[in-house]
Amino acid sequence: MPVAFSPRLALGPARWARNGEKMPEMAKERPPRPIPGPDYGANGNRTKGKQVRIYVGNIPLAADKCDFEAFIQETVGKMPDSLLWCTHIESGRFRGFAFMEFDDETAALVAISTLDGLEYEGRVLKVQRAVPRR
């Protein structure tokens, strides 16, 4: 049974012992960790079945999503599983970059090698594997 975060519970049994109280049973329960195997990485996170995300930058601000999808279709040949068109939160204007997600690693590498350095509407695209936010 999941427990809501509480600073008191986060400190563990030592805090409870100092105050002379017993730690509740529900605070001791932890979800089971996955057994490392072929589908898990060194940190225990699931690796199989994840999508590969690619960053596409330096897209002209006047670009249209439909035209860009058509451009990808004719240059790469395979459409990404999803195209995330990044817009400004308040104004809704396009910010000049997008993310593409592929189920297949090889399709993602082909898209990177094909699109990186290619000119689109007068600007040279910068395409690379996306880095997670910090």
Number of domains composing the chain: 1
pLDDT of residue 128: 96
**DSSP result, 105-118:** HHHHHHHHHHHTT-
At 41-92, the pLDDT tens digits run 444 455 556 789 999 999 999 999 999 999 999 999 888 989 999 999 999 9
Residue 42 lies in a domain: no
pLDDT of residue 51: 86
**DSSP result, 86-106:** EE-TTT--EEEEEEEEES-HH
Residue 43 lies in a domain: no
Residue 27 lies in a domain: no
Range of the domain at 117: 52-129
Residues 6+ apart with CB under 8 A from 127: 54, 55, 56, 57, 111, 112, 115, 116
Question: What CATH number has the domain bearing residue 70?
Answer: 3.30.70.330
For the record, the structure tokens of 125 come out as 């695209």
Residue 92 lies in a domain: yes
Residue 22 lies in a domain: no
| Burial class (CB within 10 angstroms; exposed 0-12, middle 13-18, buried 19+) of 41 | exposed
Instruction: Look at 36-40, 59-63, 94-98, 106-110 and tell me which has the smallest mean pLDDT.
Output: 36-40
